[in-house]
Structure 1
Amino acid sequence: MPPLTAAETYLRDFHQRQVGVTSAAFAHLPARSASTSYASSYAVLTDLVPVSNMPLTVLDLACGDGHLLGLLAARQQPQLQLLGVDMSQAELAAAHATLPLSVQLQCGRAQALDLPSASVDYLVSHMALMLMDDIEQVVREMRRVLRPGGQFAAIVGRTFLLGEVNDVFMRVFKPIASNALPPLRFGDRRAGSEAGWRELLDGAFAQVAFDDIDVPWTPTPNELWAALTDTYDIDRLDADARQRLRRAFMDAVAHLQTGDGVIVTGWGLRLVRAQPPTCQLQACWQADCSAPHSA
């Protein structure tokens, strides 16, 4: 297995320092699509896993502190086998501390899953796939471990902040970042659009579908800034640049506060769903993947 990339090394180290930061940001906020309301963006994924007495295996890819797995474990379905993979030992330690012993957790990378082929019925992932390097290999591994008739579903980023505050933030962030933020690319640009996901999943998956998921939030400016400091780019700023950004941001959003002193915003997410193709299409895909490729 190749060594970790610079982005992977940063992400692993960030989650060693900031354990549970993703669930802290999203688990307490309700989410909604155009037609459905959910308890949280995690529930968007857990609701796709049926409540059934049939044997089912669910893999949470980049499971973090195990919040999504905990929601599924709370169902106490006797035939539900839960697996989690993450590359942060600290996140996995937090998951071990709260999840039942029956939940199997592994430290690993999505590009090389230590799981048998065709062993998973549902593969889910929350706010991680758009950050992964070598996403084409990740897609191959997802397809490999899914059983025929299985399902893949992921929550990924769609837009940063909802509403006018997103434009305001970008307007003050970009000048500071251009001078103070060391270059580091997270993930594949194709993971940021529906067209890109269709390209990535083409051949390996069929019935690709998308839903816009909004996570509304009305924080005070201080609450919003505290949440922003837990994002990767702001975390990477030095102390001086972060302080300059805070002053500029607080000044810029002052006019957006309501009479209650809050800002109407939230997080813009996307649900990506797909299934393995039919047997005939799968045979073609396997043949194409096994054929020699020119450099």
Structure 2
Amino acid sequence: MNELSTAELYLQDFHQRQPGVTSAAFGQLPALSASARYASTYALLARLVPDVDTPQSVLDLGCGDGHLLALLVAREQPQLQLIGLDMSASELAVARAILPPSVRLLHGRGQALELPSASVDYLVSHMALMLMDDIEQVVREMRRVLRSDGRFAAIVGRTFLLGEVNDVFMRVFKPIVSTELPPLRFGDRRTGSEAGWRELLDGSFADVEFDDIDVPWTPTPGELWTALLDTYDIDRLDDGARQRLRTAFLDAVAPLQGGDGKVATGWGLRLVRARAA
């Protein structure tokens, strides 16, 4: 791989310490669009790959521990060629342990895909593209490896937490992050909006579509805090700042608990789809 940026070095370290953290967070929670319900956001992406008997190739860009690829393997489509790429050797090691040898796993970056041009029918990505440096080069590589009329589909972030819990969290998080968290930019801001994605995909992709995807969850405040520990910014806080944030957040979110002691929240995501022009 080419020399990694500071953000990429952090992401590599994080996933070295916590491989599988993304699939643990999203692999078992249902996902809701305006018109459908899915077993998970991974299942949503898997469903977009046609279940047919004809040959087709699928690239999972930022495949992590192989959770999405495993869903596609389970179909037992004999002519489905599966490829996963990730820059984390630890995530790929987990993927290799659960996937059959027929799945090709590559250690690399989205900015330089070691694949032939026009060799992929479907390119999917789960919670990875919004973290990638030089997203314009990533998009160029995506288009290069996709065949003409090949399809692209990605789950990316839309908002952080759902509902009033998000406002409460941001109210206590921002004062701490402004003084306690060293600046570190992940990815390109354009990946956080529909307008930004249209700009990035313009000229190389057509039929760009978006769907808001909610991943609802009703944890206890303690369960929610445990999940937040696996997010990048909270992971980057030192122990003292993390403890101050925990205390402030649990105090602030307590009034939102229902009679069962739980809070209504979840994750706000976006599905981006397009066709290689």
Note the alpha carbon deviations across 1:15-34, whole angstroms, 9 max, x for none: 00011000000001000100
Tell me what 2:65 maps to.
65
1:131 positional shift: 0.8
Q: How does 1:87-126 map to 2 (within 5 A)?
A: 87-126=87-126
Tell me what 1:206 maps to.
206
1:2 positional shift: 4.3
Note the alpha carbon deviations across 1:152-198, whole angstroms, 9 max, x for none: 00000000000000000000000001111010000001111000000
TM-score (norm 1): 0.93
Tell me what 1:234 maps to.
234
Cα distance in 2 for partners of 1:20, 1:37 equals: 24
Give unmatched runs, 5+ long, in structure 2.
Answer: none
Cα distance in 2 for partners of 1:116, 1:194 equals: 29
Tell me what 2:169 maps to.
169
Q: CA RMSD of the aligned region, Å?
A: 0.6
Tell me what 1:159 maps to.
159
Cα distance in 1 for partners of 2:239, 2:269 equals: 29
Q: What is the percent sequence identity of the aligned residues?
A: 77
The size of the alignment, in residue pairs, is 277
User: 1:264 aligned to 2:264?
Assistant: yes
Task: Flag as ranges the 4+ runs of structure 1 deviating above 3 A.
Answer: none
Give unmatched runs, 5+ long, in structure 1.
Answer: 278-295
Tell me what 1:187 maps to.
187
Cα distance in 2 for partners of 1:265, 1:189 equals: 24
TM-score (norm 2): 0.99
Note the alpha carbon deviations across 1:217-266, whole angstroms, 9 max, x for none: 00111110000000000000000000000000000000011101111000
Tell me what 1:20 maps to.
20
Cα distance in 2 for partners of 1:60, 1:251 equals: 40
Opposite residue 153 of structure 1, the aligned amino acid is A
User: 1:246 aligned to 2:242?
Assistant: no
Cα distance in 2 for partners of 1:264, 1:222 equals: 13
1:148 positional shift: 1.2
1:43 positional shift: 1.0
Cα distance in 2 for partners of 1:148, 1:177 equals: 45
Cα distance in 1 for partners of 2:120, 2:108 equals: 16
1:48 positional shift: 0.3
SS in structure 2 of the partner of residue 115 of structure 1: coil
Cα distance in 1 for partners of 2:28, 2:90 equals: 22
1:3 positional shift: 1.2
Q: How does 1:274-289 map to 2 (within 5 A)?
A: 274-277=274-277
1:149 positional shift: 1.8
